[in-house]
Chains A and B, each alone.
Chain A
Amino acid sequence: MPRDRKAHLPAPSLTSGLREVEPLPPVRLENVSKVYRDPMTLRPFTAVDGVSLTLERGEILGLLGPNGAGKTSTIKMILGLTRPTRGVIRIEGRDPWDSDARKRLGYLPENPCFYDHLGAAEYLDLVGALFGLSRVASRRRSEALLARLGLAAHARKPLRKFSKGMTQRLGICQALLNEPSLLVLDEPMSGLDPIGRAEAKQLLREERDKGTTILLSSHVLSETESLCDRVAILHRGRVHEVGGVSELLSSGVLEWEIAVDSLSDERAAILRSRGHSVQSVGRRWVVRVERESEVQEVLRDLVQERATIRSVEPRRESLEDYFVRALGADGRPAS
């Protein structure tokens, strides 16, 4: 994190009677709810239930949760595509329904779909015109973005011939065209190959370093973990927890993994009888030891056995582990 996240807060001044004006947060949701009605039965369904969330300038906040948690509904309300049933949403202090509030906003929808009849450059021309960019500025920016995302050679290709990954990369281009101060990305890594994901992550980090605030929803928790400054866990329309990734995850080591080349059946049985997990993985064995105090003892036994120890590694909690712990493996809260 390149900047002090609290830097925007005004310092209390004792010498001056004038208070410094506090900059408005990029996005603020206050007790926001969204209730849909089934068009046939008119039965209400609460998609978002009293969500309060404030994004801080220049941070990447991950919106996480199982399917149906309310992530996309929340994003659509932030974009002004749906209205909250209750509560208030503000982008830099403005109602998202006000089109001016979206001038410095970039949005990448989940599984983006663009006009088949256009080429990539034509589509970016359209987007540039919607942002009120001059033709020259729009072209310059779109050429740079297409080159950065590896689409320069495909600028004139009709979008109907684009692969999913190419469409996703074009989606990132159009989201960045107006040099946004707020980026809202719904599953930004979806459809990208490993190289594309690495490039996209690098690009997002650069945007964050420039001061862009990024809200991203994702179900690829391992990527979110390495990218986000904070995460908000949504479950059944409610914010289950918000915090820094490291704060949410238990800081301690879950277990130690010892990889060895060979292990006799007798020794494996002894280790199991002591409560350790022993598994054969390919031509190797992995011994998992929960308590750190027992690691030395196990290693001594393995050396006596003349087993070749390949690695000894601590395994810490991941966001996946957190999800299973906090919400239950099936997405239900653990009791």
Chain B
Amino acid sequence: MTRVLAIARNTLREVARERVVLVLAMFGLALVVGAQALSPLALGEGRKVVIDFGLAGASLLATTLAVFLGSTLLHKELERRTVYSILAKPIRREEFLIGKFLGLWFTTSMLLAGMAVILLAVVTLAYRDTPWQILGAVGLTLMELGIVTAVVILFSSFTTPALTAFFAVAATVAGHFAEDLRYFASQGASPAVQALTQGAYWILPHLDVFNARGLVVHGLSVGPDRLAFGFAYGLLYAIGIMVLAGVIFRRREFR
């Protein structure tokens, strides 16, 4: 575990020192604060708009960061050959990969948590009421970030940064529409298409599980059942993906 944490800490430092993190953090801050500026146009629904806009923006930024930083993370190690010195140490390749995953997940989670704190402060100051419900939604988004990060690490373990970003974005977008995918396929599609979409339905992450903005916007809390299911599903899916990534990375040859 020490070795995994050492790699995670190093990844956290590496990612946190990238300028893009600062730029995205500033952008997130502007988005959350900017939502407040739009509230007068919302005909008395300003609080809802700020929370909805703020949560969606924070989630989008954290996901973007996970995809675009994660897609180059392993590639840079291989290209600059820093990985050679590290993997010649008594560390298993799977430990290295898990460390990378944890470091990236922790960084994006910190960014998300920071934006959530700002959102809480903005809403509290503007409406004299603290929307603690958003913490449940943020918790679920953290688990979604875990899945996205694992998917990015999986693709980066065997393909190029561009393809990694493409596949990760595709999986994330499709993951948000996994339920719709099966529904549309059942509407008169051929058996082959149905089998294909059924397969995709089971393989793709069901990211809509983690979207609780609808509840929070209307002042409702995310129930403990939903939270527990989201955490369990997110954890199991991420572990499954990381096991697959580990198997692929273990077979990789460093020429």
Contact = CB atoms under 8 A, between A and B. Distances in A.
A150 interface: no
B90 A100 contact: yes
Nearest to A177: B89
Interface residues of A, number: 32
Given A76-B255, A174-B85, 15 more contacts: A82-B253, A99-B95, A101-B90, A102-B89, A102-B90, A105-B90, A107-B88, A112-B85, A113-B80, A118-B10, A118-B13, A127-B85, A129-B2, A130-B6, A131-B90
Nearest to B89: A130
Interface of B: 2-3, 5-7, 9-10, 13-14, 17, 80-82, 84-92, 95, 253-255
A164 interface: no
Given A36-B255, A129-B2, A132-B3, A114 B90 contact: no
Nearest to B96: A130
Contacts of A171: 85
Contacts of B87: 79-81
Nearest to B6: A129
Contacts of B2: 129, 132
Contacts, number: 76
A135 to B, nearest CB: 10
A114 B81 CA distance: 8
Contacts of B7: 130
A250 to B, nearest CB: 38
Contacts of A109: 81, 84-85, 88
A117 interface: yes
Contacts of A118: 10, 13
Among A81, A118, A132, chain B packs the most CB atoms within 10 A around the CB of A81
A102 B90 CA distance: 5
Nearest to A108: B85
B10 A115 contact: yes
Interface of A: 36, 76, 79-83, 99-103, 105, 107, 109, 111-115, 117-118, 122, 126-127, 129-132, 171, 174, 184
B234 to A, nearest CB: 28
Report, nearest first, the 8 A-B pairs whose CB atoms are least far apart. Answer: A129-B6, A107-B88, A130-B89, A81-B254, A79-B88, A103-B90, A102-B90, A99-B90
Nearest to A36: B255
A109 B88 CA distance: 10
Nearest to B80: A113
B85 A107 contact: yes
Contact of B85 (A83, A103, A114, A129): A114
A103 B86 CA distance: 12
A184 B89 CA distance: 12
Contacts of A103: 90
A115 B6 contact: no
A38 to B, nearest CB: 11
B244 to A, nearest CB: 20
A126 to B, nearest CB: 5
A99 B93 CA distance: 9
Contact of B14 (A79, A105, A117, A127): A117
Contacts of B254: 76, 81-82
29 contacts: A79-B87, A80-B87, A81-B87, A81-B88, A81-B253, A82-B254, A83-B253, A99-B90, A99-B91, A107-B85, A107-B88, A109-B81, A112-B85, A114-B82, A117-B14, A118-B10, A122-B13, A126-B10, A127-B85, A129-B2, A129-B3, A129-B6, A130-B3, A130-B89, A130-B91, A132-B2, A132-B3, A171-B85, A174-B85
A212 B230 CA distance: 53
A113 B90 CA distance: 19
Nearest to B86: A130
B89 A127 contact: yes
Contacts of A102: 88-90
B17 A117 contact: yes
A83 B250 CA distance: 11
